């Protein structure tokens, strides 16, 4: 059997009296896109935080690349190749695209003992990374604050791929984007998955989930209410699982507002 990239084993989380996650278990493979769906408060963001080292689960295990791991911080998860990409939060607005791309990894060479930043070399690396991903940015030398949300997201994803990322978490990545930028974002998700990267994408827009995901996982009140290959389900079925309505063909007499079995 092929080892999954990440396996969640009975992850539970409590915020005081609130049970945000209960015994959540599923796997994600290399190159797989999983859409994580669920109503407001279902536990999606909490789960993403646990995977990416932002929050420790109350109980449960994460098995990443075959090893039992819980990341103590987002930096630790990032070093292992797991990253949450936000639309713009993790780029520095007041420096340019090249500086953002190389943040903390700058190419420096010493001349006569003096360290010199290799600006041209770094720009060439960024230009080639952007070109191979099909991302068009007007200039790599303008500050990120002047770029659109979709452009910033593309830069982040390209940076993630370039530095050897393995699993990317996208929590409602297209919520603030227009039609064209969303289409590009979805294309980009497919492209990075084709390179063997695992993607977990949270979205409230069913059509987006069905457009990119290989598998649909539904959380309902902190529990996995469905884990289905996209080809084996439908937006209608996913919708029903999200709200907890029984599937008509299975239990026609137990609709929430219908007659209750005695």
For residue 196, state whether it binds ligand ATP (rule: CB under 6 A): no
For residue 244, state whether it binds ligand ATP (rule: CB under 6 A): no
Nearest distance in Å: CB 163, ligand ATP: 27
Q: Give 133's contacts (C-beta < 8 A, 6+ positions apart).
A: 154, 157, 158, 161, 188, 191
Q: Which two tokens stand for residue 112?
A: 């006569």
Residue placing its CB nearer to ligand ATP in the complex, 72 or 131: 72
The interface partner of residue 15, options being ligand ATP, Mg ion, none and the CB cut-off 5 to 8 Å by kind, is ligand ATP
For residue 40, state whether it binds ligand ATP (rule: CB under 6 A): yes
For residue 41, state whether it binds ligand ATP (rule: CB under 6 A): yes
Residue placing its CB nearer to Mg ion in the complex, 63 or 205: 205
The interface partner of residue 203, options being ligand ATP, Mg ion, none and the CB cut-off 5 to 8 Å by kind, is none
Kindly list the residues in this chain that would bind Mg ion in the complex (CB under 5 A): 45
Nearest distance in Å: CB 174, Mg ion: 14
| Three-state SS letters, 99-121 | HHHCCCCCCEEEECCEEEECHHH
Contact (CB, 8 A) for 70 and 62: yes
Of 3, 10, 18, 131, which lies in the binding site for ligand ATP, with binding defined by CB under 6 A? 18
| Three-state SS letters, 116-180 | EECHHHHHHHHHHHHHHHCCCCCCCCCEHHHCCHHHHHHHHHHHHHHCCCCEEEEECCCCCCCHH
Residue placing its CB nearer to Mg ion in the complex, 55 or 133: 55
For residue 198, state whether it binds ligand ATP (rule: CB under 6 A): no
Euclidean distance between CA atoms 53 and 59, whole angstroms:
14
Q: Report helix, strand or coil for 61.
A: strand
**Contacting residues toward ligand ATP, per CB under 6 A:** 15, 18, 20, 38, 40-46
């Amino acid at each position: 059997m092929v080892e999954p990239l990440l396996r969640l084993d009975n992850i539970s989380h409590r915020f005081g009296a609130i049970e945000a996650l209960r015994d959540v278990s599923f796997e994600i493979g290399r190159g797989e896109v999983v859409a994580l769906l669920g109503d407001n408060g279902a536990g999606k963001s909490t789960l993403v935080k646990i995977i990416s080292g932002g929050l420790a689960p109350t109980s449960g295990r994460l098995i990443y690349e075959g090893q039992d791991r819980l990341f103590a911080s987002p930096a630790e998860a990032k070093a292992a190749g797991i990253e949450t990409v936000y639309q713009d939060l993790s780029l520095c607005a007041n420096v340019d695209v090249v500086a953002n791309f190389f943040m903390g990894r700058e190419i420096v060479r010493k001349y006569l003992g003096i360290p010199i930043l290799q600006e041209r070399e770094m720009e060439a690396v960024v230009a080639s990374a952007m070109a191979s991903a099909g991302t068009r940015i007007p200039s790599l030398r303008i500050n990120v604050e002047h770029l659109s949300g979709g452009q910033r997201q593309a830069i982040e994803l390209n940076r993630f791929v370039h530095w050897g990322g393995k699993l990317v978490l996208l929590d409602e990545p297209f919520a603030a984007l227009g039609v064209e930028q969303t289409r590009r974002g979805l294309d980009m998700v497919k492209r990075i998955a084709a390179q063997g990267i695992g993607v977990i994408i949270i979205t409230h827009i069913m059509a987006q989930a069905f457009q990119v995901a290989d598998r649909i996982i539904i959380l309902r009140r902190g529990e996995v209410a469905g884990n289905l290959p996209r080809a084996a389900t439908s937006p209608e079925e996913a919708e029903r699982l999200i709200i907890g309505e029984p599937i008509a063909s299975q239990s026609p007499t137990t609709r929430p507002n219908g007659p209750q079995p005695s």
